Amino acid sequence: MQPYIPRIPLAVTSHMAGIDWLMIVAYFAILTCVAWWVVRKNKDTAADYFLAGRNLGWWVIGASIFASNIGSEHIVGLAGSGAKDGVALAHYELHAWCLLVLAWVFVPFYMRSQVFTMPEFLERRFSVGSRYVLSIVSIITFILSKIAVGIFAGGIVFGTLLPELQITIGSIVIDSFWIGSIAVIVLTGLYTVIGGMRAVAYNDAVQVVVLIGGSAVLTFYGLHKLGGWAELRQICGPEMFNLWKPLVPVGQIATWSPIKEFNASGDIVKQAWYFNNNFPWLGMAICAPVIGLWYWCTDQYIVQRALGAPNQKVAREGSIFAAFLKLFPVYLFIIPGLICYALVKQNAIPEMTAAFQEKGSQGAFPMMVQYLLPAGLRGIVVAGLLSALMGSLAGVFNACSTLFTVDIYEKFRPTASQSELVRVGRLATGVMVVIALVWIPVVKGASGLYSYLQSVQGYLAPPIFVVFFLGVFWKRLNKQGCFWAMVIGFIVGIFRMAVDTPITLGLFKEYPEGSMLWIVNNINFQYFSILITIISAIVMVVVSYMTDEPNQQQIQGLTFATASAADKAETRASWNWLDVLGSVVIMAFIIGAYIYFSG
């Protein structure tokens, strides 16, 4: 008997021409050359593998921070949210000011301490117990949000651009979504495992140029097809261009009074006190900055790039450059989503309208690429899109392996050699990818890719935000307060996730109305995130003042109040008027965007 060979139909959408595939191959050949060049420079040490030898330039740091951030959840999820909900989530993208907080507030502490990880910094400020708690929760957060979402977004891209690609094994048909998800993992894993942080950072720098240029061209083509910016605003209406107006599900009225849901006859069929509209303005005003400051200033995934700088000056300049680049996503990803919505509403491209009706808003960005761009240019943008998906995953793979190896494995094996630490970091990446694959059905069941990501972060980020910010600004807070603030805050957040997951998976429609689980499930995730923040802050302050003061020698240089004159002089010497001017210009652009999208 001959061995069974899986049937792999290669008939794909006709919108991908031969020149497109040529551009994709050429682009990835360039990335391969960059990765090969990087591997030749690598040394088999932990500092080189996890932090690129602390020798990254400011432009590489800034580009890598930006590229890692705008991976899967932004290109696919943010455009999908724009097509579905308008500019509401631009709040998160206008958080470039949080990177300025990293540059001016936290960089001096991080660079002086010369730590590998954020949990390691927390250990120096508080205790070993705090380090373990943050390491474990950070890894869980990466798996449930960034890794799973990145894999899922890769599947969305393949499912939209190559819908007919499938593998048939017996009676099992593996569609393009799963083929794409697995392909993204394999390709990303290769250069991450081999090249480490240096390969991630330099490939990020290459893809930023392609992504910004390609997305700008896509926006131009979309506006040209639609008839201009004024036409876009008219079709979408004022609500989709308003940052502060709550976006409420059809059939509901959201005010400060209870939400009311009506039937076709106009009768009230449900009335509840909770605020389960999508993006309430109060949640955006309080919760969004908490998540933003956690993400940009204390998350290993982002801060690891700044830790790869040789000194404060380079780390600060890289962070400011990343803040400048962060101004682009509103116009490069949300606006194309709005354009896609407008084109579908006008039925300007019947094929795209049909695809949108079939696949929904999640595929807005790849649909725009598929149906608007000419051959050749489309291939370059698709290559940049796939590269960004891989870049986002590569960054989180490296961050996960760093956390596990440095904060957990090395603690239990302090005599481990440098090569052993690198090997363990590579193995840790593979294990985390497998776990993330299992979690994809939960992501797939969520109402929106970007909304899912923000809700998970909203449940797990508040305790981390509290202990870092209060820890740096309030020297009286001690290790007991930090430890219990994180433990209790994480328990509350994971409880909410456990309540939401059965509903997300579709195991049942909802909990019995009026029950405690029903109330918890229906409180808007942003309001619940604010609740976790308040609980964590109260616990940290109360427990700290019920126990002994921290050891002053231990926290020397790790808070503003304990920074020495020499520390302050070193920080002052690391910046100049250009850094200040760049920060002022970035803030002016942010304020201008808020004014424009608030009326």
Count of domains in the chain?
A: 1
Residue 144 located in a structural domain:
yes
Sequence-ordered list of residues with C-beta below 8 angstroms from that of 171, at least 6 positions apart, any chain: none
Computed over every residue of the chain, the mean pLDDT equals: 77
Q: Which domain holds residue 410?
A: 18-596
pLDDT at 480 over 90: yes
Residue 13 located in a structural domain:
no
Residue 256 located in a structural domain:
yes
Average pLDDT over every residue of 268-282 = 53
Average pLDDT over every residue of 174-192 = 68
Residue 330 located in a structural domain:
yes
Residue-wise pLDDT for 312-339, tens only, equals 999 999 999 999 988 888 888 888 888 8
User: Are 312 and 111 a contacting pair, CB within 8 Å?
Assistant: yes
Residue 12 located in a structural domain:
no
d(CA 209, CA 23): 15
User: What distance lies between CA 440 and its chain's CA centroid?
Assistant: 16
Residue 5 located in a structural domain:
no
pLDDT at 255 over 50: no
Average pLDDT over every residue of 70-83 = 72
Residue 217 located in a structural domain:
yes
Residue-wise pLDDT for 521-535, tens only, equals 888 888 899 999 999
User: Are 94 and 82 a contacting pair, CB within 8 Å?
Assistant: no
pLDDT at 538 over 80: yes
Q: What is the DSSP letter of 239?
A: G
Residue-wise pLDDT for 487-519, tens only, equals 999 999 989 988 887 776 666 777 888 788 888
Residue-wise pLDDT for 343-360, tens only, equals 888 888 888 888 787 777
d(CA 426, CA 423): 5
- 250 band by pLDDT with thresholds 50, 70 and 90: very low
CATH of the domain at 30: 1.20.1730.10
Residue 7 located in a structural domain:
no
Residue-wise pLDDT for 28-72, tens only, equals 787 777 767 766 665 555 555 555 556 678 888 888 888 777 765
- 581 versus 35: the higher-pLDDT residue is 581
Per-residue exposure over 281-298, b if at least 16 CB sit within 10 Å of its own CB, e if not: bebbeebbbbbbbbbbbb
Q: What is the pLDDT of residue 468?
A: 93
